[in-house]
Structure 1
């Protein structure tokens, strides 16, 4: 048990200052040497006869012996004039159950540690669930964004179609606009552009709405079908003068 305790302590603080007390100093040193590859640069050993001297200058005391009777009692601690944490990992217990009643002494057993471990496990589980929920939300946001990107080429095609219609109709009216000077013609051009932008603005914003992925895909399909659109990269492959409706099936 002592070996596992040392390994656990070194895993958190390899250079922790500690004193290993044992009836046999040689056995204590052998144990330190056995786990020296994990830490222990500030570790030392002491005989059992010096146990109370060691406890008197310690902040935390772990007990892990095979003693059938408590080796630390409430009466033993009455003279301690500093805060002290006792952690008993022995079976049977090495620390008397009433030691925690001494002012400044905090006594814990294996069962107490199990409760702490359980509480930490439950806390971690809650954090895991929270993390999974956040990841799920971010994944969903990404999928929505990805789906909305599917609308981009169709919006570009719609804008191109609208601009083509605007230029065609403006050209048809060119004779009636002969009486206008350059400033007035520019004003008409700006006005027609503005009208188109205002007409299609709700469509653009609609594609950015937060909604279910299927709803987003249905909206894109409706846009494509309603205006008989093909993405810009496909329109560039069409023969000059043709329309998307003239493409063979499956194009």
Structure 2
């Protein structure tokens, strides 16, 4: 049911975004992946004719309209937005500063909002959908994660509000709240050292009820499921995919 559908995935050059892009292509869709590093994006696109690369920083307000325009230029339509690009920080409240607040909310809240707004007209034409990638910590409290968690909580409430607002246009809006996944996020986006990463991973393995961190495909499958027409009566929902972490 996804054949020839056109998908934009932000942060599509690695991890969950890349896994989702490949699954969408397997289902017959065409995918525009975005990210800040041109080289890796172009390498991925060169490996598959149904994946196109577009260099964009979601925190740049002007990138939203350019990203949507790129998808329309390539394929003439737009069916799905996956707001996957994210930023994180482990920062105690005593160290909080305005730059940290602005940086994380620019990527996790403002960027997805601007891209969704830029896509509405096209999504209305195709009766498409928006899928936001949240986190277990959008609803689960954790010390030192207040900024990241608050930004994901905001994304989840945006999901519900957009679902109500866009339902009359035939646009569905849902979110996948991912638990810890084996990607480069802890190093590349949270800036942790190898020692810190190992400590975090071991702690997570101990508290996740199913006893392991996730793989990108664990989450990507649910992104694709929510996009499929078989999920056409689902909107405004936050689907947790986290090995049970949220209830631990």
TM-score interval (norm. to shorter): under 0.3
Bigger share in helix: 1
Tell me which structure has the larger Cα radius of gyration: 1
TM-score, normalisation: structure 1: 0.27
TM-score, normalisation: structure 2: 0.27
Bigger share in strand: 2
